[in-house]
Amino acid sequence: MQQIAENIYIENQYPGVTLAAISLPHGLIQIDSPPSPEDSRSWRASLLNLNSGVERVLVNLDSHPDRTIGARGMDCTVIAHERTALAFRNRPTTFKTQNEDTGADWETILGLGSIRWAPPEISFTGTMTIEWSNLTVLLEHHPGPTSGAIWVVLPAENILFVGDLVVKQQPPFLANANLTAWIAELEKLASAANKNKIIVSGRSGLVTQEDVKAQLKFMRDVNQKLEGLSAKNASPDATDSLVQGLLNQVKAPADQLKKYTLRLRYGLRQCYIRNFHPSGTNISEEE
C-alpha cells in the first residue's frame, strides 16, 4: 500500500485495478475492489490497519467487472453513477465465469465461480459530495470509457482519481467507449487547470501529464481509424487490421501482449459496431 497524501492510500498489487482508500476518523471511503473474493478479503484485512472510523462506503468508478465483481466482498454501501446502476440492471443477478476473450483481467483469475453482483445502493447524476471529518470528496460524472464513468476528486489535496480515462503500458477498454466524450475529458484533464494535480489511474496507479497526452494521442488515433473504416462502410471484421499498429503505440510488457491483443481486438470491434456501424444503433451498453 502506497501513501500518496495524508490518510490517502493506493494499492496496485491486485489484478486489474488500482484500489484506493481514504482513512478518516468518521470512516473509510474505498475506491473500487479487487476482482476475486480472496483478494477482497485480503484487501479488507489490510484496511483494518488504517484505524479509521466505523463507517464504510465503496465508490465504483464505472461498471467494468474487473472493479465490480469483488464489491460484495467489501461488505459496505456501494456508490456509483446512475448509468452504472443501469448497467447492473441489464445484467443477471449473478456473475458467472464464461470463456470470454475480452482481454479483461478477471478472465485470468482461476476459480471465480458464481458471484452475486453488488449493485450500487446510492447513485447520482451529475455530482455528489461526501463530507466526512472535515474532508470534502467530490464524485463527478466524466463519461468516455463508459457512460457512467466518474472521477473522485479531493479538491484540497489536488488529487484526481480518473478511472480508466488514462492507462499506461496497456490498451484501454474500448467496448463501451464514447470516443468523442473520452477525448473531450482527456483534453480537460490535460488543461492548465490540472497541471499540478496528482492523477491516479484506475489501472496504472500514479500517472503524469505526459501519460495523459499520450492517451489523448492514442484515442484520437483510434477515433480517426474507426471513422476511416466507417467511411468505407467496412465490416466489423476490418477492425482486426488496426490491432497491431495500435498495440505498438502502447509499449506493453511482452508477457502481457496476448491479453492486450485480445483486449484491443474485442474493444475495437464492439466500439465500431456500437458507434460507427449501422448494426450498432440499438446495442445497449454492457460491460
pLDDT value at residue 284 = 46
pLDDT, tens digit, for every residue of 202-212?
A: 999 999 999 99
H-only helix segments in the chain: 37-48, 65-68, 82-89, 179-189, 209-231, 243-250, 257-275
- Position 52 scores a pLDDT of 87
Burial state string for 207-222 with b = 16 or more CB within 10 A and e = fewer than 16: bebebbebbbebbeeb
The arithmetic mean of pLDDT across residues 178-183, rounded, is 96
Residue 98 is predicted with a pLDDT of 65
Question: Which are the contacts of 11, defined by CB distance < 8 A and separation ≥ 6?
Answer: 1, 2, 18, 19, 20, 21, 43, 46
The pLDDT value recorded for residue 287 is 47
Predicted pLDDT of residue 282: 42
Confidence check: pLDDT of 278 > 70: no
Number of Cβ within a 10 Å radius of residue 99: 5
Cα 258 to Cα 51, 101, 148, 195, 264: the distances in Å are: 41, 10, 28, 35, 10
Residue 235 has what DSSP assignment?
A: -
Whether 281 has a pLDDT exceeding 70, the answer reads no
Residue 256 has pLDDT above 80, yes or no: yes
Distances (CA, A) of 7 to 150, 161, 205, 242: 22, 15, 17, 43
Encode pLDDT of 100-156 as tens digits: 688 888 888 877 777 778 889 999 999 999 999 889 999 999 999 999 999 999 999
Domains parsed from the chain with CATH numbers: 2-280 (3.60.15.10)
Q: Which of 33-37, 41-45, 88-92, 93-97 has the lowest mean pLDDT?
A: 93-97
Judged against a pLDDT cut of 70, whether residue 12 lies above it is answered with yes
Among 79-83, 87-91, 235-239, 254-258, the minimum mean pLDDT is found in 87-91
- In this predicted model, what pLDDT tens digit does every residue of 210-243 receive, in sequence order? 999 999 999 999 999 999 999 999 999 999 999 9
